[in-house]
Amino acid sequence: MGYYNGNGFALILVLFILLVIIGCSCFNG
């Protein structure tokens, strides 16, 4: 779980931001 605590959090954060951006784009478009 050490790897998950380090890079995993950043990866989830990036994926979440991408999801929000894509979601907003679809919602506005």
Percent of the chain clearing pLDDT 90 (strictly above): 31
Look at residue 28 and tell me whether its pLDDT is greater than 80.
no
**Global confidence as pTM:** 0.56
Q: What is the DSSP letter of 15?
A: H
Q: What is the mean pLDDT of residues 2-26?
A: 81
pLDDT interval class at 14 (50, 70, 90): very high
Number of CB atoms found within 10 A of residue 18's CB: 10
4 — pLDDT class (breaks 50, 70, 90): low
pLDDT > 60? residue 10: yes
Q: Token digits for 3?
A: 């790897």
Helix (H, G, I), strand (E, B) or coil at 1: coil
